[in-house]
Chains A and B, each alone.
Chain A
């Protein structure tokens, strides 16, 4: 069943419901709510329903907490809601969706970069030593 109010809104043609992250929290302390909202709405403004939360900062047990109301997410996806990239990535990590291809790509890129850093330790260390000498002379 399609959410009927989008069909009834006169100034909102071609709009759709989207499941996305709405930012909250304080300075230097982000906190996201996973939310079903019309896509034209502002990011943090009135949403249709809150479907979960995502805390990007790890807690004292080194965990990032994500809560997901799978029942309602299934309902909204059944109504034809789209998901944004970060939400799709989170759902892929949780096992609800298949893994997002960008997650895999980013993991591979990070691994390559880490290997490059390991492969050139002498060049980097020589540069750091030169910088330290210059700071001591100055």
Chain B
């Protein structure tokens, strides 16, 4: 029977989708990620320590990322096809619009922010009898298809007879050799060297660089974090926040700025573009993440909401207080 069969197929597929994580290049990969939960759930002063993956944090970050359909679906360099014209009723147009919004939301799924991975230093055996037999190391990779990559055995036999687990870089390289991922190269391309990064920033290609970084490196590797940190710092120095607005990297950038307490530039940029609601949510995120800061304590004392939050933040914490107050006054005058 077609109908029950189709329903059954959809149910299997949707349960499959729950375990699937969509990678940056859009290729569907089955991977069970080891969950990284912090060892201590309560930070200073009995307040719960906010992680990137918390619901409240994610809500605020999705909200300030925005949803500019024109930017998400801007023309990407593809094979030339003649444009397709469709004749639709109003209802069909609305439906197509809502489907576009869904698709945009899926494309704006935030990139992961994970704690940096600790180096692997396990030695499985030390057979001194084998010392001096070989001049090269042997790298043994387990190519069983069903094991997730994080649990795969990659083991190195050194020329001095030591059998050890492979380091993270060796693991990534071996897994790319035997299970190649689209868009990832075995040796990282030279664009990620610091001298070349400066050229990329000069050409305002931050988003493309971050997409490339997501495809090339694992999210908890040191290189991934370094490239992201340098990119965010450059954006903050130049004030080019709009480059990442309505892309999947905005949440990560906002989180990085909040963690390093450099929110002033972004706030000012939001106020200049009349995104007062976003500015308010950014300040509330700051207070969530740093509950011991002066602005958070003042806000709790006065039970501030909306524009008052901004005023409290401007007074207590920011270095560009004058700018924020000016922008607030200008906003209040227009409304």
Q: Which residues of A contact B143 (CB under 8 A)?
A: 52, 67-69
Q: Closest residue to B132 on the A side, CB-wise?
A: A111
Q: Determine if A14 is an interface residue (Cβ-Cβ < 8 Å).
A: no
Is there an interface contact between A69 and B144, defined as CB atoms closer than 8 Å?
yes
Is there an interface contact between B137 and A64, defined as CB atoms closer than 8 Å?
yes
In the complex, how many residues of chain B place their beta carbon closer than 8 angstroms to a beta carbon of chain A?
29
Shortest CB–CB separation between residue B187 and chain A, in angstroms? 9
> Which of A4-12, A78-86, A92-100, A128-136 is near enough to bind chain B?
A92-100
Q: Contacts A94-B155, A99-B127: A67 and B141 contacting too (C-beta < 8 A)?
A: yes
Q: Determine if A121 is an interface residue (Cβ-Cβ < 8 Å).
A: no
Q: Contacts A107-B129, A107-B132: A68 and B142 contacting too (C-beta < 8 A)?
A: yes
Q: Determine if B206 is an interface residue (Cβ-Cβ < 8 Å).
A: no
Q: With A and B bound together, what is the CA distance between A68 and B178 in angstroms?
A: 11
Q: Determine if A110 is an interface residue (Cβ-Cβ < 8 Å).
A: yes
Q: Determine if B200 is an interface residue (Cβ-Cβ < 8 Å).
A: no
Is there an interface contact between B140 and A63, defined as CB atoms closer than 8 Å?
no
Interface of B is mostly: mixed
Is there an interface contact between A94 and B178, defined as CB atoms closer than 8 Å?
no
Q: Determine if A123 is an interface residue (Cβ-Cβ < 8 Å).
A: no
In the complex, how many residues of chain A place their beta carbon closer than 8 angstroms to a beta carbon of chain B?
27
Shortest CB–CB separation between residue B154 and chain A, in angstroms? 10
Q: With A and B bound together, what is the CA distance between A67 and B136 in angstroms?
A: 16
Is there an interface contact between A67 and B178, defined as CB atoms closer than 8 Å?
yes
Q: With A and B bound together, what is the CA distance between A114 and B131 in angstroms?
A: 12
Q: Which residues of B contact A110 (CB under 8 A)?
A: 132-133
* Besides A61-B173, A62-B135, A70-B153, 11 new A-B residue pairs in contact (Cβ under 8 A), listed by A number: A58-B136, A63-B137, A65-B177, A68-B143, A69-B143, A72-B144, A93-B138, A93-B140, A95-B124, A95-B155, A95-B163
Write 11 A-B pairs (CB below 8 A) sorted by A numbering.
A62-B135, A63-B156, A63-B170, A66-B138, A71-B144, A94-B140, A94-B163, A95-B125, A95-B155, A99-B127, A107-B130
**What residues of chain A have their CB less than 8 Å away from a CB belonging to chain B?**
52, 58, 61-72, 90, 93-95, 99, 103-104, 106-108, 110-111, 114
**What residues of chain B have their CB less than 8 Å away from a CB belonging to chain A?**
124-125, 127, 129-133, 135-144, 146, 153, 155-157, 163, 170, 173-174, 177-178
The 9 closest A-B pairs by CB, nearest first: A58-B136, A94-B140, A107-B133, A71-B144, A67-B143, A63-B139, A67-B141, A66-B140, A69-B143
